[in-house]
Structure 1
Amino acid sequence: MSPAAGPAAAAGPRREDHPGAPAREQTWPQGVSHEATMSIGAVLAVLQPEFPAVTVSKLRFLEEQGLVTPRRTGSGYRKYSRADVERLRYALTAQRDSYLPLRVIRDQLADLDAGRSVEHPSHARVVTRDGELVAPAAGARVSAAEICELTGAGEAEVDEMASAGLIIADARGRFPGRSVQVVQAALSLARHGISPRHLRSVRTAAEREADLIDQVVAPLRAQRSGAARERGAAQAAELAELYATLHAELVRAAVDQLG
């Protein structure tokens, strides 16, 4: 596979197109409409049920990175095709399930555009089994061996992550189901030279944010009403997503300052 091209090179020159312009059938996926008819809001409505955290700014960011190139109307509005939506879905899935860097996803899309096959990471066994997600359900508890089975991590790697406080076992030695996603992310960072011990500050920051969220929702959780407690849980989940979005944007802004 050739080295990843920069975002601008991957995206190609900016074109101002009009509705009804010829479709760009040469890009992947073939057999899906390349007619640009959808607004960015319509694309968001299609993708959010599968990717609840996706936002308009995220879609624009993926465009800036050269993963998709929507058409522009004469007045500058973005127009997407069904093929564009599938490219976005491919990128979002690769980020969520395999934690692939954008440069790798961009290379994969370029290979698909050229008709070449793409080899997916063998460690991403959490993604599907006969087309179904096999990540543990919310609230599930898993053993270290199950984490290894689902993620491809070695026992020593799981032990290192536990020692760093990234995943925490209960008295029976079992971990929250979400530990699978944590281990997946930590494995991907390790491939870039970032070890679990470097991530202790991330865990500490997450705990501080959870404490703040708890303070906000505590009045609802304290009520006897089941409905109030459900609202508290929903509010806590929403705040967690907002914190995650804020953290991601702050990291991107800090990286941009690196020059």
Structure 2
Amino acid sequence: MRQAPKGGAGSSGAAPSDGRPVSIGTVLTLLREEFPEVTISKIRFLEAEGLVEPERTPSGYRKFTAADVERLAGVLRMQRDHYLPLKVIREHLDALERGEQVQLPAQATAPRDLVPGMREPGEDRPATARVGREELLAAAGVDEAALADWESYGLVVPGADGSYDSEAVTVAKLVAELGRFGLEPRHLRAVKAAAEREAGLVEQVVAPLRRHRNPQTRTHAEATARELATLSVRLHAALVQSALRVRLQ
């Protein structure tokens, strides 16, 4: 059995208290206190990638020890706090097993939730963290076939270099969650089309301001676009809730 990483990126309070192996469902409950977006699919994906090796009962059920839970927490923390790819995380864990001291990179700053192409008024454009295909699959807890399906419908779009920005990661996680309720990519085409229409409406409003020669006016255009985007999302949510209330009466 692999060793759990100790301290730093690997310590966690989420571990079975009585020392007995637990099911994957219990592991999910333990981890969600710190990692609310983790899913059973993601735990299985990390197992498939060799980052944790739970025991198996004679009937095939997974049983996770306290060390397994600590190890999973360490992997998730290194992804969240340091944006490390799985290959690098695996190398860190292997080094820890050999008794070596591991120095993790400085904790990364999560990318801001910006409207694509916009920045805060008066600031330079912030660097946006990008992830590779493997990291996106792990974040969403899905397999290659599912991601390829999402891309075929234009729900998730990679950059020119094949990497994904923070918005793509968020979309992937949400599409995966909706999939738990039986919603397939083909069902989400209307949602994507509505989002594109809303973005086009915002663009129409701010386009004249962005073309203005005055830098302050251009800065105001970006702030206006952010505000319009926020109001558009709130309106969309309110309209969906109102429509559901009528339909479910």
The normalised TM-score by structure 2 is 0.49
- Which structure's relative contact order is higher, taking Cα pairs within 8 Å and 6+ residues apart? 2
The normalised TM-score by structure 1 is 0.47
